[in-house]
């Protein structure tokens, strides 16, 4: 052994090795090992990856002394992002679907670290210079369109990250982003806590008169889970919806409505305990400061810098035009509803009455109830029909997989293949439960990309809903509204999974302008109303017999029931969001902005205690700040795109393949309008949307 020096490992290096070796988030894996991930794994894993990434970035930039190359710069940075995403994506997902105090604390401890890291990336001048040099290099002339678009978007995002700001203002930018990350997470947490903090325990079944058996069974199951007799009503949406739609007890409806619409506010049964009011003000203040720091007048302008819409004026004009077109129909809808309710003894229709009497009016007018329809939409039949539709349209195959590691027993995993080749996989988490965020969403668990070694990494998606779970041995039965939600989220999933782009920056939904990202999702909803689609997704849960023609006729006749009120409600939310961000600082409170928009657009005003804004997670904790208008904007695109299928045949494979190749496969590789024109042959028209909603002049 003479002449050979052996260095004993230090205790620090042994500790680092132990953390790495035992931490599932630091291992290579295909799908996340959900059952092995513990809260104590989260922060150490993120710390290790961020430290490694910073060191790797220094090394990467040292190699860019000459003219950068795509592989040496963009793909190398994508590799760093993929490693971080592989660890953080399952943590973020678990925080939404399997929330607990320990995981929440670990998640929140990482938010400022991640915000700081991404701010460093966005303000790294040598990195910006390298991208600029690559964009100006001779090689860039031969780049594919997707590559050119990625470079263009990346340089734009550098500027939106404050690359041109003086050092002190860059520091302020970073501090704002860290604080916003903290506040938006707190908003979401307080909304979840407020939702779960309220329940109503009933032991007298008479109080639930009017509710369908399926709803009462779910409430009984909720009570049993808490070791209680009787029934337990909660603010989870299936429970709330059932009471507001069916409960004969008007006092119960009002009590539940008041609890629901004052969640996370200074009012209500948990007044002030989870109040999001101060958070909203602080979030808006910081967004306004951020926008002005970057040279914009307001956050609306900053939001539009990466969207299809050109200006605040264009967005506000678009929304007000829709509102004006829809309001006469909404006024008519409300007058009919009030007259109907009056005939049944309700002299003054209130917000907690609208859903109840609308359902009774629907039953009387069309001999159709949501509960009757539910029996024809068992979950497995709906899924089989959904898969049959997209398989015929897009030439793919879908099969369920087993033997995977999920986060809950209800979670299911599926694989999409094309001509026998696996294309991507998606998880379904469909049912409401405690410690799960409300609503429905899709998130990309993994992006498609071509790795540096040439391997094609296939995409993975998480599709999450909050439907009423199965009870009493019956399968889960969906309302038609829930079927539509399922199709909507699956449209997002297909956008992510059917991409043909192999560069992360434009793969799937990456790089897609936010006001176009709803096109594929809203587009999918159309098949929930087409007779050919309904024939595939429906069948009685006991007999399997197809949806009767008379029931189908009723559903189609009722399709646009109260569509005027629905239209102005969406316009109200969109205008409120955009006006709130575009006019912040004019002295009005959040509630005053909302009231002004309601006065302008709405036809039915809620009670003064309504605090809807305090639970508007889309704009205060999601990605829709100054962007909620995207739903209506993209609905124009989706309705017009579907009109092509109406012309060619709703299940026409040739039209389906054309839509896939022009829209779904291209992701963010081109500007959305160019992709739409490539499919439709012209720019979009609003006519199809108004016709689909029954709001065209002919329907007046």
Same domain? 481 vs 395: yes
Last residue of a domain, one of 620, 647, 663: 620
In-domain check, residue 22: yes
Tokens 């007779």 sit on residue: 531
Same domain? 463 vs 549: yes
DSSP string, 588-626: --HHHHHHHHHHHH-SSPPPTT--GGGG-HHHHTSS-TT
The H or E element spanning position 412 is strand 412-418
Q: What is the predicted pLDDT for the residue at 292?
A: 98
Q: Under a CB-based contact definition with an 8 Å cutoff, are residues 34 and 92 in contact?
A: no
CA dihedral (600, 602, 607, 610) positive or negative: negative
Q: What is the predicted pLDDT for the residue at 598?
A: 97
In-domain check, residue 625: no
How buried is residue 433: exposed, middle or buried, by Cβ count under 10 Å (0-12/13-18/19+)? middle
Q: Are strands 460-467 and 421-431 parallel, antiparallel or unpaired?
A: parallel
Q: Under a CB-based contact definition with an 8 Å cutoff, are residues 49 and 24 in contact?
A: no
Quote the CA–CA distance of 227 and 229 in Å, as a whole number: 7
Q: What is the predicted pLDDT for the residue at 402?
A: 97
Quote the CA–CA distance of 614 and 218 in Å, as a whole number: 27
Q: Which residues partner with 424 through β-bridges?
A: 416
In-domain check, residue 85: yes
Q: Under a CB-based contact definition with an 8 Å cutoff, are residues 232 and 223 in contact?
A: yes
Q: What is the predicted pLDDT for the residue at 19?
A: 60
Q: Supply 570's token pair.
A: 């969406």
**Tens digits of residue pLDDT in 137-159:** 999 999 999 999 999 999 999 99
pTM over 0.75: yes
Which segments of the chain have a pLDDT < 50? 1-17, 698-700
Q: Under a CB-based contact definition with an 8 Å cutoff, are residues 442 and 461 in contact?
A: yes
In-domain check, residue 390: yes
Q: Supply 68's token pair.
A: 């950068």
Same domain? 148 vs 245: no
In-domain check, residue 581: yes
In 685-695, which positions are buried (b, 16+ CB within 10 angstroms) versus exposed (e)? ebebbbbbbbb
Find all residues with CB under 8 Å of 421, minimum gap 6, and list them: none
In-domain check, residue 363: no
Quote the CA–CA distance of 260 and 544 in Å, as a whole number: 37
Within 13 Å and on the Cβ side, how many CA atoms surround 458? 15
Quote the CA–CA distance of 572 and 233 in Å, as a whole number: 29
Ramachandran bin of 281, using left for φ above 0, alpha for ψ from -120 to 50, beta for the remaining angles: alpha
In 140-178, which positions are buried (b, 16+ CB within 10 angstroms) versus exposed (e)? eeebeebbbbbbebbbebbebbbbebeeeebebbbebbb
Same domain? 647 vs 669: yes
Nearest CA among 20, 501, 469 for reference residue 217: 469
Same domain? 603 vs 674: no
Within 13 Å and on the Cβ side, how many CA atoms surround 289? 16
Q: Supply 562's token pair.
A: 């109260």
Same domain? 68 vs 130: yes
Nearest CA among 127, 135, 130 for reference residue 161: 127
Q: Which domain holds residue 290?
A: 285-348+566-620
Same domain? 129 vs 178: yes
Domain CATH for 89: 1.10.1370.40
Nearest CA among 282, 265, 296, 303 for reference residue 179: 282
| Enzyme catalytic residues | 489
Tokens 């799960």 sit on residue: 436
Number of domains in the chain: 4
In-domain check, residue 268: no
Same domain? 542 vs 691: yes
Same domain? 437 vs 409: yes
Last residue of a domain, one of 172, 192, 212: 192
Quote the CA–CA distance of 33 and 29 in Å, as a whole number: 8
Same domain? 456 vs 477: yes
In-domain check, residue 365: no
Same domain? 160 vs 233: no
Q: Supply 171's token pair.
A: 């520091």
Helical axes 590-601 vs 312-343, angle rounded to 10°: 70
**Tens digits of residue pLDDT in 659-687:** 999 999 999 999 999 999 999 999 999 99
CA dihedral (574, 578, 583, 584) positive or negative: positive
Last residue of a domain, one of 133, 161, 192: 192
Q: What is the predicted pLDDT for the residue at 698?
A: 42
Same domain? 539 vs 427: yes
Quote the CA–CA distance of 12 and 19 in Å, as a whole number: 11
Quote the CA–CA distance of 522 and 639 in Å, as a whole number: 8
């Amino acid at each position: 052994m003479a002449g050979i020096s052996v260095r004993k490992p230090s205790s620090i290096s042994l500790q680092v090795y132990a953390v790495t070796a035992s931490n599932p988030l630091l291992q290579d894996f295909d799908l996340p090992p959900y059952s092995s991930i513990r809260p104590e794994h989260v922060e150490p894993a993120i710390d290790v990856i961020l430290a490694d990434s910073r060191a790797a970035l220094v090394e990467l930039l040292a190699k860019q002394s000459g003219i950068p190359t795509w592989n040496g710069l963009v793909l190398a940075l994508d590799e760093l992002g993929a490693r971080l995403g592989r660890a953080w994506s399952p943590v973020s997902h678990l925080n939404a679907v399997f929330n607990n105090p320990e995981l929440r604390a670990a998640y929140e401890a990482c938010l400022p670290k991640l915000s700081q890291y991404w701010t460093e990336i966005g303000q790294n001048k040598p990195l910006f210079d390298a991208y600029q040099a690559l964009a100006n290099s001779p090689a860039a002339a031969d780049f594919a369109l997707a590559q050119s678009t990625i470079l263009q978007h990346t340089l734009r995002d550098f500027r939106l990250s404050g690359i041109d700001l003086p050092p002190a203002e860059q520091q302020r930018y970073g501090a704002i982003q860290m604080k916003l990350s903290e506040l938006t997470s707190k908003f979401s947490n307080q909304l979840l806590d407020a939702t779960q903090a309220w329940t109503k325990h009933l032991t007298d079944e008479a109080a639930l008169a009017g509710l369908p058996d399926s709803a009462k069974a779910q409430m009984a199951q909720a009570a049993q889970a808490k070791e209680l007799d009787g029934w337990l009503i909660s603010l989870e949406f299936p429970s709330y919806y059932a009471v507001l739609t069916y409960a004969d007890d008007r006092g119960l409806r009002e009590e539940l409505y008041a609890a629901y619409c004052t969640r996370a506010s200074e009012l209500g049964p948990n007044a002030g305990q989870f109040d999001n009011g101060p958070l909203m003000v602080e979030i808006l203040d910081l967004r306004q400061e951020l926008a002005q720091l970057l040279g914009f007048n307001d956050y609306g302008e900053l939001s539009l810098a990466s969207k299809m819409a050109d200006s605040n004026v264009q967005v506000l004009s678009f929304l007000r035009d829709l509102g004006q077109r829809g309001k006469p129909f909404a006024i008519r809808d409300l007058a009919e509803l009030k007259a109907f309710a009056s005939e049944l003894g309700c002299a003054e229709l209130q917000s907690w009455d609208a859903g109840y009497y609308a359902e009774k009016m629907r039953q009387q007018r069309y001999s159709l109830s949501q509960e009757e329809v539910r029996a024809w939409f068992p979950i497995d039949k709906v899924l089989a029909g959904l898969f049959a539709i997209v398989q015929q349209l897009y030439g793919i195959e879908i099969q369920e997989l087993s033997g995977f590691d999920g986060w809950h027993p209800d979670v299911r995993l599926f694989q999409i293949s094309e001509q026998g080749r696996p294309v991507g996989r998606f998880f379904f988490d469909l049912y409401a439960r405690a410690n799960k965020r409300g609503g429905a969403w899709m998130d990309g668990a993994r992006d498609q990309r071509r790795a540096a070694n040439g391997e094609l990494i296939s995409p993975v998606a998480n599709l999450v809903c909050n439907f009423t779970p199965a009870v009493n041995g019956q399968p889960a039965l969906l309302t038609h509204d829930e079927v539509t939600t399922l199709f909507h989220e699956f449209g997002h999933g297909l956008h992510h999974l059917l991409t043909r782009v192999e560069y992360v920056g434009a793969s799937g939904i990456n790089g897609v302008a936010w006001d176009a990202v709803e096109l594929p999702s809203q587009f999918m909803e159309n098949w929930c109303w087409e007779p050919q689609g309904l024939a595939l997704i429906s069948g009685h849960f006991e007999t399997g017999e197809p949806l009767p023609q008379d029931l189908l006729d009723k559903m189609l006749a009722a399709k646009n029931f109260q569509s005027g009120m629905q239209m102005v409600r969406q316009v109200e939310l969109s205008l409120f969001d955009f006006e709130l961000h575009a006019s912040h600082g004019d002295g009005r409170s959040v509630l005053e902005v909302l009231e002004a928009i309601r006065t302008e657009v709405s036809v039915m005003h809620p009670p003064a205690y309504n605090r809807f804004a305090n639970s508007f997670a889309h704009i205060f904790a999601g990605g829709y700040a100054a962007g909620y208008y995207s739903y209506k904007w993209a609905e124009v695109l989706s309705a017009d795109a579907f009109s092509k299928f109406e012309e060619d045949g709703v299940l026409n494979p040739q039209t389906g393949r054309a839509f896939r190749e022009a829209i779904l496969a291209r992701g963010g590789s081109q500007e959305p309008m160019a992709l739409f024109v490539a499919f439709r042959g012209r720019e979009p028209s609003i006519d199809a949307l108004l016709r689909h909603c029954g709001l065209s002049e002919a329907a007046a």
